[in-house]
Amino acid sequence: MQTLRGIGASPGAAIGPAFLFQQEDLGFKAYEVAEPQAEWKRMEIAFQMASTQLKLIYEKALQEAGESQAAIFEAHMQMIEDPELIGLVRKSILDGHNNAEKALLDAAEHYARTLEGLADEYFRARATDVRDVAHRCLRLLLGRPQVDVVLNKPSIIVGRDLTPSDTVRMDKSMLLGFCTAEGGATSHTAILAKALGVPAVVGMGDIVLTLADDIPLMINGRTGEIIVNPDETTVATFVQNQKSEKERAAAELLEVSQPAITKDGRRVEVVANVGSVADAKKAVTLGAEGIGLLRTEFLYLDRQTAPNEDEQYAVYKTIFDIQGSRPVVIRTIDVGGDKELAYIDLGHEDNPFLGWRAIRMCLDNPDFFKTQLRAILRAALGHDIRIMFPMIATVNEVKQARRFLDEARVELEVAGNPFGEKIQVGIMVEIPAAAVMADKFVKVVDFFSIGTNDLTQYTMAAERTNKKVAHLSNALEPAVLRLIAKVIEEGHKGGVWVGMCGELAGEPKAIPILLGLGLDEFSMAPTLIPHAKAVIRASDVAGCQKIAKKVLDMQSYFEVDAYLSKLLL
């Protein structure tokens, strides 16, 4: 048994024999041609045939893996018709008297290398596409037909890096997962694996290419771990886990409408993060006791004009009505320089996450902001609604935002529009400054909701999506946990309730810590609710307090993670 590590590129786990996929070496000779015109004709015919093939493959991919996968082959067709590429090949044949194979490969390599030299991973990944297209034409020139990859039993495909043309000719019904030596999280293999819903581990290094065909593998697409030749106990545990996982999920679903009360009798609220009307419905069926984060951006994006008050009112009312008497925390619009609004010039910022976004932009655009506030107030009539301001850094910002809320009320009164009277006002705690100053904020808010994703990225000065610093950006880092502890403690001292709407709230490992710290409300993606409720029911606050105390005193995320993993065993 041997454990190897790569990059988890598509979640899930699988166990099965390896299928070593080797790209055939098409080996061709370079030579001088006597009749360049005839050679060019040969090339043109190959281009045409490749184009026809790609049209058929496009249809196949469309059926098997959907439109985004099929689009890859549309791009391949464009590459074959590329006037610059064709020009280079033509010149090389007609002027340089090179044979078609050499002319084609030289031109394709020229572009592939240029793409590989670019900084952005998205562009670098396109080099694979260029080579894939060249390979297709080369086969046609050499008269070597493309053969289907036949899997005669369910297998895990192992290879260097798979091209779109490789994967499209694989039998998906026998495919358990992918494991590749090269490639990153945005490589073709990763994208395809996600579309098909199978696990993938990429960037393993050349060591995976030395694996024997048929050797048993166990791959985990979340952790990026693969186990070669797992022993009997490991396999048995895996099979057992998958089975019990299914049974557990079914059992948890049955109890989902029951409240989440710890063994020693403390009840906490488990609510949902929601970003659409459909989510709001799903949340109810999965046992959400309300909404802990209603994102409102969906109303604003992809349109030419700002949504007006009536339009917003209609959508909010629909969602509030679905929730009935359950509480709903609605967050005012949170956009900035990383998104586009056709009707407000957000400008291009070098650092949009530290820029003019969310409440900062709203406070500078009172009419725009108050339109949303009026719509919320009107829809709140007869419901338990809590308004939450995002990206708050100073107490003064809350005071200003509250002033606009008061103005919105007056405007509605003047207009004779009825609106909800008893509305709580709170802030999202996602900027470290707000966490540190929590004792001052309690005087101007009714609640805190901790946004752990941004709080982590701002505390650690590291973004999760940047692979090189991703190890720094973990919400279980003691520095982040200490801020969370402080917010909860100061909140309670000041008489305000404290919730959490970041990913950490739905993380089973973290729930004991959060219970121990006294978190009142856990808000998460609806699908995570059944399990989170079960974890809470299995916990006792006294024990959790000990866990929380312990982790706050640890040095690193790794120490915390190792300790929590041990607790779960």
Partner 1 sequence: MAEISFVIKNKVGLHARPASVFVREASKFKSAITVIHGDKQANAKSILSVLTLGANLGTVISIRAEGEDAEDALKALMTLNESNYGEAQ
Lookup result for tokens 């929730």: 323
Token code pair at residue 53 = 């093939």
* Of 17, 20, 360, the residue nearest 176 (C-alpha): 17
Select from 66-74, 353-361, 432-440, 545-553 the region that touches partner 1 (CB under 8 A). 66-74
71, 207, 354, 479: which one binds partner 1 (CB under 8 A): 71
Instruction: Say which amino acid occupies 297.
Output: E
Contact pattern for partner 1 over residues 261 through 300, marking x by CB under 8 A: ----------------------------------------
The answer to whether 492 touches 498, Cβ cutoff 8 Å, is: yes
Lookup result for tokens 């009825």: 418
301, 314, 433, 562: which one binds partner 1 (CB under 8 A): 301
Considering beta carbons, is residue 82 or 561 the nearer one to partner 1? 82
439 vs 449: CA distance, rounded Å? 14
84, 231, 264, 413: which one binds partner 1 (CB under 8 A): 84
Give the DSSP H or E segment for 224: none
Contact pattern for partner 1 over residues 87 through 116, marking x by CB under 8 A: ------------------------x--xx-
Residue 354 is a binding residue for partner 1 (CB under 8 A): no
- Name the minimum Å distance from CB 520 to partner 1: 33
Backbone dihedral region of 554: left (phi > 0), alpha (psi from -120 to 50 degrees) or beta? beta
Q: Is 480 exposed, middle or buried (0-12, 13-18, 19+ CB in 10 A)?
A: buried
Instruction: Say which amino acid occupies 167.
Output: T
Residue 24 is a binding residue for partner 1 (CB under 8 A): no
Select from 76-84, 158-166, 414-422, 552-560 the region that touches partner 1 (CB under 8 A). 76-84
Residue 254 is a binding residue for partner 1 (CB under 8 A): no
Which whole-number Å values give the CA distances from 209 to 9, 22, 201, 229, 515, in the listed order?
A: 18, 9, 13, 15, 46
- Name the minimum Å distance from CB 432 to partner 1: 26
Residue 231 is a binding residue for partner 1 (CB under 8 A): no
24, 171, 340, 413: which one binds partner 1 (CB under 8 A): 340
DSSP 428-467: EE-SHHHHHTHHHHTTT-SEEEE-HHHHHHHHHT--TT-T
Is 188 noted as a catalytic residue in this protein?
A: yes
DSSP state of 376: H
Considering beta carbons, is residue 124 or 160 the nearer one to partner 1? 124
Per the residue annotation, which of 76, 135, 188, 531 is the catalytic one?
Answer: 188
- Name the minimum Å distance from CB 180 to partner 1: 20
- Name the minimum Å distance from CB 431 to partner 1: 24
Residue 243 is a binding residue for partner 1 (CB under 8 A): no
- Name the minimum Å distance from CB 130 to partner 1: 7
22, 52, 78, 396: which one binds partner 1 (CB under 8 A): 78
DSSP state of 355: S
- Other C-beta atoms closer than 10 Å to the C-beta of 355 total 17
Per the residue annotation, which of 137, 179, 362, 501 is the catalytic one?
Answer: 501
CA dihedral 102, 104, 105, 106 (to 10 degrees): 80
Token code pair at residue 501 = 């709407």
Residue 345 is a binding residue for partner 1 (CB under 8 A): no
- Name the minimum Å distance from CB 344 to partner 1: 14
Considering beta carbons, is residue 188 or 531 the nearer one to partner 1? 188
- Name the minimum Å distance from CB 117 to partner 1: 9
- Name the minimum Å distance from CB 68 to partner 1: 8
- Name the minimum Å distance from CB 71 to partner 1: 6
Considering beta carbons, is residue 79 or 158 the nearer one to partner 1? 79
43, 50, 70, 85: which one binds partner 1 (CB under 8 A): 85
Considering beta carbons, is residue 338 or 553 the nearer one to partner 1? 338
- Name the minimum Å distance from CB 114 to partner 1: 5
Give the count of residues interacting with partner 1 (CB under 8 A).
28
CA dihedral 541, 546, 547, 548 (to 10 degrees): 80
CA dihedral 58, 59, 63, 69 (to 10 degrees): 10
Alpha helices in 494-556 (DSSP H): 511-517, 529-537, 541-552
Select from 80-88, 275-283, 408-416, 448-456 the region that touches partner 1 (CB under 8 A). 80-88
72 vs 165: CA distance, rounded Å? 10
Handedness of CA 442, 445, 450, 453 (dihedral sign): negative
Residue 485 is a binding residue for partner 1 (CB under 8 A): no
Residue 358 is a binding residue for partner 1 (CB under 8 A): no
Considering beta carbons, is residue 361 or 379 the nearer one to partner 1? 361
Token code pair at residue 214 = 């048929």
Contact pattern for partner 1 over residues 111 through 140, marking x by CB under 8 A: x--xx--xxx-xx--x---x----------
Backbone dihedral region of 203: left (phi > 0), alpha (psi from -120 to 50 degrees) or beta? left
DSSP 59-123: HHHHHHH-HHHHHHHHHHHHHHT-HHHHHHHHHHHHTT-B-HHHHHHHHHHHHHHHHHTSSSHHH
* Contact positions vs partner 1 (CB under 8 A): 71-72, 74-75, 78-79, 82-85, 111, 114-115, 118-120, 122-123, 126, 130, 301-302, 338-340, 342, 348, 350
Catalytic site residues?
188, 501
